[in-house]
Chain A
Amino acid sequence: MNEIMAVWGQWLKPSAGLPTVQWSLLLALAAAAGHLVQRHMALPKVVGYSAVGAIAGVAGFTGAAWPLQGIGLFLLELAVSVVLFETGGRIALRWFRYNPMVLLQSVLEAVLTYAAVYFTLRWLEVRPSVADALALVAMASSPAVLSRIVTDLRATGPVTERAIVLSALGALYALTLVAARAGLMHREETDLFALLYPVAVVLGLSVVVGAALALFLRFALHFMSPNSENTSILLITSIAAGTTVASHFGGSAALAGLLAGLLLKQLNPRPWAWPRQLGTAASLLVMLSFVLVSVVAAQAEWNPAVAGIVLALVGARALAKLSGVLLANPGSGTTWRQALMTGWAMSPMSSLALLLVSQFASASFTLGPRIASIALPAILLMEVLGAVIATFVLHLARESSQPEPVSGAGPSGAQRA
Chain B
Amino acid sequence: MLEPVLPDITPAGESPQAAPALEPFRASEPLTLGVELELQLVNTHDYDLAPYSDEMLRLMARFDLPGSVVPEMTSSMIEISTGVCHSTAHVLGELTQLRDALVRCADKLNIAVVGGGTHPFQQWHQQRIYDKPRFRELSELYGYLSKQFTIFGQHVHVGCPDADAALLMLHRMSRYIPHFIALSASSPYVQGQDTQFDSARLNSVFAFPMSGRAPFTLSWKEFEAFFSKTTRTGVVKSMKDFYWDIRPKPEYGTIEIRVFDTPLTIERAAALAGLVQSLAAWFLHEQPFVPAEDDYMVYTYNRFQACRFGLEAVYVDPVTGRHMPLRDHILETLRRLAPHAQRLGAAPSIQLLAEDAELGTNDARWLRQRQARERLLAEVVRQGSERFKGRR
Contact = CB atoms under 8 A, between A and B. Distances in A.
Interface of A: 90, 92, 94-95, 98-99, 154, 156-158, 161, 165, 225-227, 269-273, 333-335, 398-399, 401, 404, 410-411, 416-417
A411 B48 CA distance: 31
Nearest to A417: B12
B167 interface: no
Interface stretch (B82-90, B215-223, B308-316, B374-382): B374-382
A255 B187 CA distance: 42
B141 A411 contact: yes
Interface stretch (B29-37, B126-134, B288-296, B353-361): B126-134
B242 interface: no
B379 A271 contact: yes
B107 interface: yes
Contacts of B50: 156-157
A415 B46 CA distance: 41
B11 A398 contact: no
Given A161-B43, A272-B45, A401-B126, A225 B141 contact: no
A334 B109 CA distance: 9
A60 to B, nearest CB: 43
Contact of B13 (A98, A154, A227, A417): A417
Given A225-B375, A271-B378, A416-B12, A99 B110 contact: yes
Given A271-B376, A411-B140, A399 B51 contact: yes
Chain A to chain B: the 6 pairs with minimum beta-carbon distance, closest first: A271-B378, A98-B107, A95-B110, A271-B47, A417-B12, A416-B141
A98 B108 contact: yes
B384 to A, nearest CB: 12
Contacts of A335: 58
Contacts of B55: 158, 333-334
A98 B59 CA distance: 13
Nearest to B139: A404
Name, among A99, A158, A398, the residue most crowded by chain B CB atoms within 10 Å (CB to CB): A158
B235 interface: yes
Given A271-B376, A272-B46, A417-B234, A161 B110 contact: yes
A159 B292 CA distance: 56
A158 B106 CA distance: 12
Contact of A333 (B45, B59, B235, B375): B59
B189 interface: no
Contacts of A411: 140-141
Contacts of A92: 44, 110
Interface of B: 11-13, 43-48, 50-52, 55, 58-59, 104-105, 107-110, 126, 128-129, 131, 139-141, 143, 234-235, 374-376, 378-379, 381-382
Contacts of B43: 156, 161
A165 B375 CA distance: 28
Given A158-B109, A398-B128, A271 B51 contact: no
Contact of A157 (B51, B141, B382): B51
Contacts of B12: 416-417
Given A158-B52, A333-B108, A398-B128, A271 B139 contact: no
22 contacts: A90-B45, A95-B44, A95-B107, A95-B110, A98-B110, A99-B107, A99-B108, A156-B50, A157-B51, A158-B52, A226-B376, A270-B376, A271-B45, A271-B378, A271-B379, A273-B46, A333-B109, A401-B126, A401-B128, A404-B139, A417-B12, A417-B234
A373 to B, nearest CB: 39
Nearest to A270: B379
B193 to A, nearest CB: 14
Given A161-B43, A411-B140, A271 B375 contact: no
Contacts of A90: 45
A398 B131 contact: yes
Contacts of A158: 52, 55, 109
Nearest to A407: B140
A156 B45 CA distance: 11
Contacts of B382: 269-271
Contacts of A154: 126
A134 B210 CA distance: 66
Contacts of B48: 156
A335 B55 CA distance: 8
Nearest to A335: B58
Contacts of B131: 398
Contact of B376 (A95, A225, A333, A398): A225
A412 to B, nearest CB: 11
A225 B139 CA distance: 37
Contacts of B58: 335
Name, among B43, B129, B131, B381, the residue most crowded by chain A CB atoms within 10 Å (CB to CB): B43
Nearest to B121: A273
A157 B376 contact: no
B376 A227 contact: yes
A269 B391 CA distance: 15
Contacts of B13: 417
Nearest to A399: B51
Nearest to A90: B45
A268 to B, nearest CB: 10
A270 B385 CA distance: 12
B313 to A, nearest CB: 32
A330 to B, nearest CB: 13
A398 B74 CA distance: 13
A90 to B, nearest CB: 5
A411 B12 CA distance: 13
Name, among A92, A154, A411, A417, the residue most crowded by chain B CB atoms within 10 Å (CB to CB): A417
A94 B112 CA distance: 13
Contacts of B129: 404
B376 A416 contact: no
Nearest to B45: A90
A416 B140 contact: yes
B382 to A, nearest CB: 6
A340 B52 CA distance: 18
A318 to B, nearest CB: 25
Given A98-B107, A99-B108, 7 more contacts: A92-B110, A95-B110, A99-B110, A156-B50, A156-B51, A270-B376, A411-B141
Nearest to B13: A417
Contacts of A98: 104, 107-108, 110
